[in-house]
Each structure stands twice: as C-alpha cells, then as structure tokens.
Amino acid sequence: MTVLVGYVPTPEGDAGFSAALEESRRRGEPLVVLNSPRGGAPVSTDVAPENAVRRMHERAEEHGVTLDLRQHTHTGDAADEVLRVAQEVDASVIVIGMRKRSPVGKLLMGSSAQRILLDADRPVLAVKP
C-alpha cells in the first residue's frame, strides 16, 4: 500500500504534500507524488519547479519516507488521472489540497477535488492551506 498525493505548486498543493508526508510517515508507507500537467499545453504552471522537487525529496528523507515523484503528462481530466494512479499503486489513501470555491464557481467550472471525493473507491484526505 502507498499514500498518493495530487500535487500542484500552490499553497493548496503544499498543504496536501505536508499532510501526505505526515500520513505516509504515520502509516509507514511510501509516498507517491503525482504532479501531472495536461498534455499538449505549451506552458504549464502545474509542473513543480526544480527547487520545489528538491525540497520535497529533502523533506521526505528527513521524515524517513520513500518518495516517488511522477511528472508524466495526462490528457483529459486531472481527477481521472489521480483516480487512475490511485488504482495503479493501490493507494491506501488519496491526499488532496483544496481551495475554497463558491457554489456558482463549482457549477460553472467543475471541481477536480469534488470529483475525487465523490468517485474515489478508497479514503480521501482533503486539506486546506
């Protein structure tokens, strides 16, 4: 079993990583960080910069946690990619960072976090920064 966190370089993503790191340490399970930009985009702000990647590895090492960073591109919805990887790695828990959105914002733009919460077949830990 493993802990999976969906990560984007935002305060929400950082909160999700911190919670996933602690959960992984507590469970004694490896941590998979999914930082998956959408394929075909000429520039993506979803890709973690090199200094953030280095810091994640340092923090994992400090906590005695094995970290597997996956940065392959995906097509389609980000929620589908998180759920697919959760199945692939047999995640014991999915960790996601959430931001506050209005009901109208969710209706018009959808919510990957909401889809993960509703569609996951395993526990989901949702955290805010």
Q: Is the pLDDT of residue 120 over 80?
A: yes
Q: In terms of C-beta density within 10 A (0-12 exposed, 13-18 middle, 19 or more buried), how is residue 23 classed?
A: buried
Q: Is the pLDDT of residue 53 over 90?
A: yes
Which whole-number Å values give the CA distances from 112 to 10, 27, 47, 76, 88, in the listed order?
15, 26, 17, 11, 19
- pTM (global) more than 0.85: yes
Domain boundaries, given as residue ranges, for the chain: 2-127
Q: What is the pLDDT of residues 81-112, one digit of tens each?
A: 999 999 999 999 999 998 876 665 555 445 78
Question: What pLDDT score does 37 carry?
Answer: 79
Fold of 2-127: Rossmann fold (3.40.50)
pLDDT value of residue 38: 73
Is 50 exceeded by the pLDDT of residue 115? yes
Residue 9 tokens, joined: 């370089």
| pLDDT score of 39 | 66
Q: How many angstroms separate the CA atoms of 90 and 47, rounded?
A: 24
Residue range 15-29: mean pLDDT, rounded? 98
- Euclidean distance between the first and the last CA atom of the chain, given in angstroms as a whole number: 26
pLDDT of residue 109: 46
61-87: average pLDDT: 93
